[in-house]
Amino acid sequence: MSVQLSHPAPPFNPKAEAMLSAIGGFPISDRQLFLAGYSELCRVDLTDRHAVEICGASGKLAAAVARTFPGARVTGLDLWAPSGPEPEEWKCTLPGLELIVGDAFDLSAFPAESVDLVWGQAALHHLSHDLDTLCREVTRILKPGGRLVFVFEPMGHNLAVAAIRAMRMAVHEMGDESNLYISQFKRMSAFFSTCEVQMFNLLGYPVKALSDRFGGISHLVHELDARLFGMFPRLLRYGANANVILTK
């Protein structure tokens, strides 16, 4: 199965805008990536459907999806139980939302072909050591035509980006932060019928610190990235961050 690389441009789904505002705290330089990724989460009306977030941590994004689709069943799963006042509040305000403790590699809590959407944010690079098990589990629980979406994943083809990330990981002593490669998406695509990868941040990543400080620069860099990707599609693989959309 081939992997389709693209660089999506605005306009994005207004529901995605609302989700972004509900969560907040995104660096301005990554706004387009999140809007494109959340547009994928909203692509299908999830009313009366079941969506599962893996590696969801606090459950904030799962809560935003549950708020966007009040008629959906939304399950957020992470190795650790969420803590703090928000999950308690969501129990009263978001009846479609459940946050559970579990392992993304063991989705036995979900019956076969029972789920319409599985997604993760900043998640796949924590699971890339066993992609076969992950894909086997996800395709087992997805209904035919169901989708697996990953938002905001780091890519390793761009040596400048890889070097900057390696420095950041060393400074902040970040373990478990591997980069991803298109060959891994190819491997995953064997389990699915389509695989689309949305690439972002070609020049955007090296100037991230600057563009987060000065919003106008972020806009210019996005424009420049879009032009370069348009003129030279081979550059798509060198984007620093990706959203991945797989359809069963």
Ligand X SMILES: C[S@@+](CC[C@H](N)C(=O)[O-])C[C@H]1O[C@@H](n2cnc3c(N)ncnc32)[C@H](O)[C@@H]1O
Binding site for ligand X (CB under 6 A): 54-57, 78-80, 103-105, 121-123, 126-127
Instruction: Choose between 33 and 203: whose C-beta lies nearer to ligand X.
Output: 33
Instruction: Choose between 78 and 116: whose C-beta lies nearer to ligand X.
Output: 78
d(CA 188, CA 134) in angstroms, rounded, equals 9
Cβ 115 to ligand X, closest distance in Å? Answer: 15
Reduced to 3 states, what is the DSSP secondary structure of residue 155?
strand
Cβ 179 to ligand X, closest distance in Å? Answer: 14
d(CA 214, CA 237) in angstroms, rounded, equals 27
Instruction: Choose between 165 and 235: whose C-beta lies nearer to ligand X.
Output: 165
Cβ 54 to ligand X, closest distance in Å? Answer: 6
Q: Which residues pair with residue 66 across a beta bridge? A: none
Instruction: Choose between 164 and 217: whose C-beta lies nearer to ligand X.
Output: 164
Instruction: Choose between 6 and 58: whose C-beta lies nearer to ligand X.
Output: 58
Instruction: Choose between 106 and 159: whose C-beta lies nearer to ligand X.
Output: 106
Cβ 176 to ligand X, closest distance in Å? Answer: 8
Integer CA distances (angstroms), 6 to 128, 141, 190, 194, 241, in order: 22, 27, 19, 14, 12
Cβ 94 to ligand X, closest distance in Å? Answer: 17
In the bound state, the residue with its beta carbon closest to ligand X is 55
In our burial notation (b when 16+ CB lie closer than 10 A, e otherwise), range 130-147 reads ebeebbebbbbbbeeebb
Number of Cα atoms under 13 Å in the Cβ half of residue 70: 3
Asked if 141 and 110 touch (Cβ cutoff 8 Å), the reply is yes
DSSP assignment, residue 174? -
Cβ 130 to ligand X, closest distance in Å? Answer: 9
